Structure 1
């Protein structure tokens, strides 16, 4: 009997670890509203954290029991699951969105998420100075902003997490709107205008035009930005490929490491295709190169 028990204990101890998810971690509060993230933990962590932001056209559900953006199944499959399988700890966030909240609410929440993760790096078993960001569409926009904005912390803030820097050390952005002045299709145009707080794109000669320019990642590029990988379908009409092309030009001009992966035949809603470019592998290689080798 003792031998049987010992053998069973040995068998259980030999089981391989498995990934896990810590759901609804509160990373901040806004006027009593909890900002939530899910922490996707890999079976064998590599000690690197990635903040992930799904694309929702800058919208968030307003009804009770609306599906949270952090539960978006298609996008979780495209960039969260492969990252977790490669050893990355991934923090998938909710953020404030339209129609209730306007710019810069979503950006403030994304920056708060990075600060929270960085401040609690030991708790999550990651390196505080090696954090990446990934996102698609509006989430790609926010991920790009996390790489190009200074994100300086407030040393006098009573919340210690807000004293930490919000800039990440590497970015992967799928089909991101990088220039909010366009071009877009009708949906992209209306979503962008509503995100800034207008009914439509203003006249380029109006004072409101400056809001669009100032909120555009392409206009925030400086030499100390994070390396940015851009992945964009060449048949995307909602956010045309031109957005990533503009961003690539701006980053190269500032001597920032960048790469644009054009996905032939892909529209705005890209999906892995065995006959096309393996953009999942491109994403993993980018983070491995710029985060794991630091």
Structure 2
């Protein structure tokens, strides 16, 4: 269930409790605004951001699993709720600008119509205690190729001439200057409206006049006039991806908000069957190197009302009075306007809101972390370093620590890879000192046994030294030396497992710095690692020499398991084609047979090499709970 759907269930408790904790004066929205920062969100696009939805369709679908959890929070008796904590201004609204408290009526098809702002505003308003202002700027029939063209992507001479030729067929008096003015006209209008609305907040919304302003997000829902552009279609809309990337950079610059979360709402007219190259181009924008992380592509085709579409295809919208009545319960327009489905427009807004909230949560977590890079830990003769992830504020009590070991098949990978950053920032924000380490690697790829001969047991020794380093410097970094854990993925998953299960008397102990300190860990999370290397090598290699089999056995975590091993949380995905999920099952079975505490979580559909937030299942709460249980006793 999207996180926003949980808030309305608690709404009757959340707000009153919050207000009582502050003072009864906070029942005034004006007083609340004076004490808070106003979170401002921009909702921008063409006709489907304008909105053609009929809110009465939400009454029709009140028992739908996606509507039911929030339906009651949208109503005030028989009327639609008017929020006292979410405001909206819509300067570009057809037939005149409109502003006020959020309720129905901010769409463009009928007095009470809705667009994505309705679900978005309720989602954000239910989730945060700060006052919220939505600035909606949208015009129907506008393209990114011409109308919203960003300043950093000016049209070429050939584009201008082709457009001039096309427009002169309709109006021979069209000039080249007329064409140049069209390119980016609505981009410039959007920025003008945005700045004017920000400046007008104190006078337009007196309740907010003394509040600080924070631009908290931007939602872009547009594309119909570009998907039908034959020139763009020829190169699978690659130009759209490029232009939208530049649009995002330009908007952030023009609004002086370089880290502003940005949501791209999927164009999904016609639903899932109509997904294709254009939707891929939209999604690819969020994958551009400099936009990854705070640009989010949000699928919406799942919310297209297929039941309404069936009635549309049966011509109920122009049929008998009885058929029209049936149609009007679910539909209101043509497929290119999502059939005017209030359900669809609402759920799209909810999805956009959820995406913004998750982005803000991620940003908040990252801001709660200090990072110290490239700390030497292996001695002067070694180039490998570690990165420390520390809670932003020093705890009054000692903090447990966690060693993070990267993957890469024992010959590649890096401590600063995205997976390791995700783990480090997540766990540091949860109150842990984390050390993401580089360690000795094989010089090149080869078969499993060949790589092991080159680096084993040196790679294990580096992991052991990292644990000892943390204990050595416990005072410096405020570490609880009695409670240290380890986590790693793939090759790192293998190494943290060996680190956890090898005893200091097993003959594999490191010689080197800090030998007076223990290298034992008190909890371990091996993620999709190889744990019985003999089984894995025999499946992958044509033959194993006696020496190969011996080193594989010695390097296998399962070799060293006994009842004294620390608790293990083992994670693996069913779609892993690099390391079979059977490897984690073998490890779990061996631990259970030895009566060592172990939990195995298999993530359905997850591939090899995921971090703590694979799209199939958010694992942050699970992993943090595990470490809290065993390291924060």
Which structure ranks higher in relative contact order (CA pairs < 8 Å, sequence separation ≥ 6)?
A: 1
Mapping for residues 1-294 of structure 1, pairs under 5 Å? 18-29=368-379, 32-44=381-393, 45=395, 47-60=399-412, 69-77=414-422, 79-99=423-443, 101-151=454-504, 161-183=514-536, 189=540, 200=541, 202-203=543-544, 206-271=546-611, 272-273=613-614, 276-293=616-633
The 8 Å contact of residues 530 and 536 in structure 2, kept in 1 or not, is answered as no
User: Is the CA contact (8 Å cut-off) linking 1:29 and 1:35 kept in structure 2?
Assistant: no
The superposition leaves residues 200-251 of structure 1 with CA deviations (integer Å, 9 ceiling, x where unpaired) of 56437x3431211111001110111111100000121211111110110111
Distance between the aligned counterparts of 1:209 and 1:287, measured in 2? 34
Q: Report the count of equivalent residues.
A: 252
Give the match's secondary structure for 2:533: coil
Q: 1:84 offset after TM fit, Å?
A: 1.2
Contact 1:147 1:227 (8 Å CA) reproduced: no
Structure 1: 5+ residue runs without aligned partners? 1-16, 61-67, 190-199
Q: Report deviation, 1:36.
A: 0.8
Q: Is the 8 A contact 2:378 2:513 kept in 1?
A: no
Q: 1:270 to 1:23 in 2, by over 3 A?
A: closer
Secondary structure of the residue aligned to 1:178 is: coil
Deviation at 1:124, TM superposition (A): 1.2
Classify 1:35/1:29 alpha carbon distance in 2 versus 1 (closer, same or farther; 3 Å): farther
What is the rounded CA distance, in whole Å, between the counterparts of 1:18 and 1:242 in structure 2? Answer: 37
Q: For the residues of structure 1 that align with 2:581 and 2:511, how far apart are their CA atoms?
A: 43
8 Å CA contact 2:404, 2:420 repeated in 1: no
Q: Contact 1:152–1:164 at 8 Å: present in 2 too?
A: no
CA distance in 2, matches of 1:158, 1:173: 24
CA contact (8 A) 1:50 1:134 kept: yes
Cα deviation, 1:156-200, whole Å, max 9, x if unaligned, reads x996611211111000111011111233799xx4xxxxxxxxxx5
- Cα gap change, 1:93 to 1:119, in 2 (>3 Å): same
Q: CA deviation at 1:147?
A: 0.8
Unaligned stretches of 5+ in structure 2? 1-366, 445-453
Per the TM alignment, residue 279 of structure 1 is displaced from its structure 2 partner at its CA by: 1.9
SS class of match (2:378) = strand
Query: TM (normalized to structure 2)?
Result: 0.38
Which aligned segments of 4 or more residues in structure 1 are displaced greater than 6 angstroms? 157-160
Moved more, 158-167 or 141-150: 158-167
Contact 1:111 1:151 survives alignment (8 Å): no
Alpha-carbon spacing, 1:266–1:158, altered in 2? closer, same or farther (3 Å): closer
Contact 1:152 1:165 in 2 (8 A): no
Q: 1:42 to 1:235 in 2, by over 3 A?
A: same
Counterparts of 2:621 and 2:593, CA distance in 1: 26
Q: Per-residue deviation at 1:99?
A: 1.5
Distance 1:125 1:249, change over 3 A: same
Counterpart secondary structure, 1:143? helix
Contact kept? 1:54, 1:135, Cα under 8 Å: yes
Cα shift at 1:33: 2.0
Deviation at 1:256, TM superposition (A): 1.0
Q: Contact 1:133–1:143 at 8 Å: present in 2 too?
A: yes
Whether the aligned pair in 2 keeps the contact of 1:153 and 1:164 (CA below 8 Å) is no
